Structure 1
Amino acid sequence: MRRISRLARVAVGVASLALAATACGGTSTGSDSGGGDGKEAKGLAIAYDIGGKGDQSFNDAAYAGLQRAEKKYGYKSADIEPTEGETDADKEQRLASLAKQGYNPVIGVGFAYGPAMEAVAAKYPDTTFGIVDSVVEGENVASLVFAEHEASYLAGVAAAKATKTKTVGFVGGVDVPLIHKFQAGFEQGVKDTDPKVKVISQYLTQTAEEGGFSSPDKGRAAAEGQIEKKADVVYQAAGLSGQGVIEAAAKAGVWAIGVDSDQYKQEALAAYKDHILTSATKDIDGAVYALAESVQDGKPLSGVRTFDLKSDGVGLSDSNPKFAQIAGAQDAVAKAKEGIVAGTIKVRSE
């Protein structure tokens, strides 16, 4: 979903944090387009959430936005990996370092960067900051948030149509309000479609530090447990841990539902794609690019910017041709989307 022209017209919010390579062992990548004079132009910088690049989901979607901006504007960008056990002070130091180096905008990918961004943005008023999945106050901060519950509702509709055992599962990475939105929308979508379908829900950890977003083995074990309880569709909102959920579903011959990116198309998951029924997507790619574009245009976005179904900021993928073979699934999803956009279906966020 790359509808930038529409995103530029709607209130959309993404929060991302940038980490500097010079602090706490982070590493950065970028392209030099400055003509060899040592003063290359610098543009967008992002700092990944837990799980880092290669999660085939949340972080990789942000990286796709960075790549688009880098290609369009020909400047040097930076993308920084998180480090294990890092503190808010570590994050604050990295953000400040990126701002000092001249990167603009600086985006933190994930709600964990909220406190650090609030502190740093006030110190660097000439730099535009962005944060994905959280709201940070500041005249130079764009809070890029998403209606995850709406996309998850559609995933619930699809799951209810696909299940044969009348049991489906939800695996959340960490027990936090953001992931509660995914669970709430999914459960409502399932029950509104077929009240007889049972939903088994589970969180991998209570805190991110325990590895809920970065442990495929935890995701695999959780999915295996749900499958043993007859779940034949498992929806995951668990970052890198979700790869374990998808693997377990594929090996058991049941359906997995991806998240954030269209995971059917992810190369690293190609061995399992026939079992990825669909994905509840968030246009993080588009949001990151839109913020970079606004800075280049001299009209940087700020405030809360919300991606929802109406703006095509979230949605449900249909890349797997097998999805079309599920009786009534496509029609049910289309009808549900129409109802949500029209306001006749109110989706819970908790």
Structure 2
Amino acid sequence: MKSTPAIATAALLLLGLAACGGTDAAETAEAPPAKSIILITPNPVGTNSFLQLGVKGAEAAAKELGASFKLYESKDPTSIAQNVDAAVRAKPTVIVGISFSFDDVFTTVPKANPGQQFLQVDSCAKEQAPNLACVSFKEHEAAYLAGVEAGLLSKSGQIGVVAALDTPFIHRWIEPFFAGATSVKPAAQGTPLYVGGSNPFSDPARAKSQAQTLTGRGVDLIAAAASGGNPGVFEAVAASGGKAFGVDVNQCALSPGNVVDNVLKHVDVAEHAAIKEIFDGRTGGVKVYGLAEGGVGVNALGDDLASSGCTVAASPDVVAKVKQTRDDIFAGKITVADPLQS
């Protein structure tokens, strides 16, 4: 009983401290949420240059905007769905999904979560919700330019493509490449082969095997469109005396003297810009980046061609033709057919 006054005094002291310096639940709830970005990839990033660009763009945006960044790497459709669900529960400022692998899940999840902003890079769900922004590219325009180079440089007139999968989207790297070649060498013949298997975007061994099949048929120029599998293609052409084209980024340094040029796609730049727009409140919609918008290209068009390590730098006549073709596309004199629209 004698301790009661002490207890009462302590209680009053605690109440006083709370009144002076405490923060109640209402104040906490009203605090603005922290800015954050979650990027979900369809496969482990690893050596996949396309996914590396996705990470680069999101990280750059996070740094500029003062936001946190988290990467969720998937391995199959099931883990993609699981990662999207986990991201929704985390409630970031924006959830970014990269590639056509998100077409299905982004058809339903954004509609079910209208208060959450989503960004899909390199594709767009067919039924686009108002809170889903999309960024896509005209890869076929850059592939056409690479094809022009291949047609001018091929000695056998046999060119090929080693692509990850036989899908309408990936055909943007195939038919336009062959069309560019035949525009300057009508007799040129093109053959595509596909990596396939359980890991089509990161399987150098299977990509190399398909490239060896092509070189065995007399193909002397191969466009590598197998992402992480591209080094396998470079190994095959190096052994056969042929040449290759890279994809997404400058891959000429991966196999010095064996890579002519690259079908470039500036995923990081477009993704960075789209995230900034979402943070500024400009959400939804679709933006398409082609040659005119600086979203795609080839190293032959760059000011740094001389230091690129690409063998096309040694063929100024080919570079001049590529630049003329680019200008003709700008002027509407050449229209590159989009396999996705056919």
TM-score by length of 1: 0.80
- Residue type at the aligned position of 1:290: A
* Stretch deviating more after TM superposition (39-48 or 327-336): 39-48
1:304 to 282, 286, 300: 286
For the pair 1:219 / 2:219, whether they are aligned, the reply is no
How far, CA to CA, are the matches of 1:141 and 1:62 in structure 2?
17
Aligned to 2:59: 67
Aligned to 1:197: 188
Aligned to 2:162: 171
For the pair 1:149 / 2:132, whether they are aligned, the reply is no
How far, CA to CA, are the matches of 2:129 and 2:174 in structure 1?
30
Deviation at 1:56, TM superposition (A): 4.2
For the pair 1:322 / 2:311, whether they are aligned, the reply is yes
- Residue type at the aligned position of 2:64: K
Distance 1:285 1:273, change over 3 A: farther
Aligned to 2:252: 264
**Per-residue CA shift, 1:88-116, capped at 9, x if unaligned?**
xx423321321321322211111011111
Deviation at 1:314, TM superposition (A): 0.8
In structure 2, list runs of 5 or more residues that go unmatched. Answer: 1-31, 301-307
The alignment covers a number of residue pairs equal to 299
Deviation at 1:275, TM superposition (A): 1.5
2:41 to 35, 41, 48: 48
Q: Is the 8 A contact 1:214 1:241 kept in 2?
A: yes
How far, CA to CA, are the matches of 1:179 and 1:239 in structure 2?
11
Higher relative contact order (CA 8 A, sep 6+): 1
Any idea what SS the aligned residue of 2:183 has? helix
2:115 to 102, 107, 126: 126
Q: Is the 8 A contact 1:173 1:212 kept in 2?
A: yes
Deviation at 1:64, TM superposition (A): 1.3
Deviation at 1:135, TM superposition (A): 2.0
TM-score by length of 2: 0.82
- Residue type at the aligned position of 2:265: K
> For the aligned residues, what is the CA RMSD?
2.0
Deviation at 1:246, TM superposition (A): 2.0
Any idea what SS the aligned residue of 1:154 has? helix
Deviation at 1:348, TM superposition (A): 1.6
Aligned to 1:341: 330
Distance 1:56 1:95, change over 3 A: closer
In structure 1, list runs of 5 or more residues that go unmatched. Answer: 1-38
Any idea what SS the aligned residue of 2:169 has? helix
The share of aligned pairs that are identical, in percent, is: 28
Aligned to 1:101: 90
Q: Is the 8 A contact 1:161 1:326 kept in 2?
A: no
Any idea what SS the aligned residue of 1:273 has? coil
Q: Is the 8 A contact 2:259 2:310 kept in 1?
A: no
**Per-residue CA shift, 1:179-226, capped at 9, x if unaligned?**
111111101000001112222221223xxx633222111100011111
Aligned to 1:236: 224
- Residue type at the aligned position of 1:100: R
